[in-house]
Amino acid sequence: MNISHQSEPLVSVRGVSKHFGEGETRVDALRDVSLEVHPGQVVGLLGPSGSGKTTLLNVIGCIQEPSRGMLSLDGDVVYDGHWQRSDLRKLRLEKIGFIFQFHNLIPFLDSTDNVAIVLNLAGSGAADSKARAVELLEYLEVGDRKGAFPAKLSGGEAQRVAIARALANRPRIILADEPTAALDSQRAGIVMDLLRRVAVEQQAAILAVTHDEKIVDRFDRIFHLRDGRLEPEET
């Protein structure tokens, strides 16, 4: 573990609530949620289906707007009653990397181009983007698969390429939604060990939603959500 509570949190959620609808149709997805994730931490977010886990991840990822509360990312207040940034797409590119249950790689691009495309979208030139992509694939131990298309990758290899894509713009906040659910125990362990390496070596904050009992012992901290409320933390 590399828990650095003395450092400023990279993710700070304060009194965040989120509801959908009004009146009799209102659904409270999040109720007064507060948590922090610090540099070097890999944090798990657990709970039954419908407990609000994905909604919380979407709020932190600036995909869904809270109903109230405050959200800070990497030292910047990004939501306090309303969005503090007008260009949320740029904010996500700058600060956040996303990893999903399914790799969602583009089938007609090889591994290198699947990573480089994120850098292209951020304005990097083609040569620099490909060089960074190859560097990341090597870092995540799939450099020998840099020319392979998604259909030729194993599940674990494809997920490592997806992690490389998430790291392309050097975000310090990584949000993962069921990152190992489609993998067997061995490959799930490899992916979690790689995420820990990223957290420690790049001083990133990683928050992962999971139902996967195979990886619970890989987290520094565990938060449980139930009916939109955060239960006491497990360490």
pLDDT of residue 104: 84
2 pLDDT tier (thresholds 50, 70, 90): very low
DSSP string, 149-202: -GGGS-HHHHHHHHHHHHHTT--SEEEEESTTTTS-HHHHHHHHHHHHHHHHHT
The string of pLDDT tens digits covering residues 38-50 is: 999 999 999 888 8
11-104+171-230: CATH architecture? 3-Layer(aba) Sandwich (3.40)
- Which amino acid, residue 37? V
Mean pLDDT taken over the chain: 87
The string of pLDDT tens digits covering residues 100-126 is: 877 789 999 999 999 999 888 878 888
4 pLDDT tier (thresholds 50, 70, 90): very low
7 pLDDT tier (thresholds 50, 70, 90): confident
Asked if the model's pLDDT at residue 135 lies above 80, the reply is: yes
Q: What residues does each domain of the chain span?
A: 11-104+171-230
Q: What is the pTM of this model?
A: 0.86
The string of pLDDT tens digits covering residues 50-107 is: 888 899 999 999 999 999 999 999 989 999 999 998 889 888 888 899 988 777 899 9
